């Protein structure tokens, strides 16, 4: 079946009450450090601050595109395997929409979700990814000391974002 590579555009979802900043933290809270992103998004949600919303979820799924499309900025928070023996730091990088990645459920990456948002709604917000250092992915509900440090750092960065978007931008560069 031939594929029309020039997609027909779709209408952006109308969400008048959407936050300016959406923090999507994802991972499995039964798998120790894997759940650190989920916990961070839960904490952000508990702040109940105007303009910023925490969205904890176990996986990135396609319908998140509809939640992402109306916001100004989205921050994905996930665990990342620590690669250094020294105490690793939270890393932050700017994301661009990617329409070449295979979009699945367990293997979805934020850039692919942004790409999906771009294709569906002709818009993709400014996006960053916070990677929290993690070392333990065994069954368990507690964070390793390294992940706990990362969690604290990440929350400080996100608090900074609430106060000053440009500060957060500089810290991610």
Give the E-state strand segments of 13-72 in sequence order: 21-26, 52-57
Q: Residue 155 and residue 153: Cα distance in Å, rounded? A: 5
| Phi, then psi, of 66 in degrees rounded to 5 | -70, -30
Give the E-state strand segments of the chain in sequence order: 21-26, 52-57, 73-81, 91-95, 126-134
Residue 105 as a binder of other proteins (CB under 8 A): the answer is: yes
Reported residue count of the chain is: 173
What residues from 32 to 91 belong to the interface with other proteins (CB under 8 A)?
34, 57-59, 61-63, 65-66, 78-81
Q: Which of 43, 89, 123, 137 is the binder for other proteins (CB under 8 A)?
A: 137
Q: Site mask, other proteins, residues 116-135, x = CB under 8 A?
A: x--xx--------x-x--x-
Considering the complex, state which of residue 63 and residue 166 has its C-beta at the smaller distance from other proteins: 63
The residue ranges that bind other proteins (CB under 8 A) are: 1, 3-10, 26-31, 34, 57-59, 61-63, 65-66, 78-81, 99-107, 109, 115-116, 119-120, 129, 131, 134, 137, 139
């Amino acid at each position: 079946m031939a594929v029309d590579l020039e997609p027909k555009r779709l209408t952006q979802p109308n969400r008048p009450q959407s936050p300016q900043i959406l923090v999507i933290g994802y991972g499995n809270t039964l798998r120790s450090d894997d759940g650190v992103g989920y916990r961070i998004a839960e904490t952000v949600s508990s702040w109940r601050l105007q303009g910023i919303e925490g969205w904890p979820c176990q996986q990135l799924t396609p319908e998140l595109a509809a939640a992402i499309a109306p916001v100004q900025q989205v921050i994905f928070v996930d665990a990342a395997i620590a690669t250094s023996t020294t105490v690793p730091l939270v890393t932050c990088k700017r994301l661009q929409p990617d329409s070449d990645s295979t979009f699945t459920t367990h293997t979805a990456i934020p850039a692919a979700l942004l790409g999906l948002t771009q294709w569906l709604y002709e818009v993709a917000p400014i996006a960053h990814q916070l990677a929290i250092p993690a070392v333990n992915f065994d069954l368990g509900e507690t964070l390793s000391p390294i992940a706990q440090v990362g969690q604290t750092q990440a929350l400080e960065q996100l608090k900074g974002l609430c106060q000053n978007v440009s500060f957060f931008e500089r810290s991610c560069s």
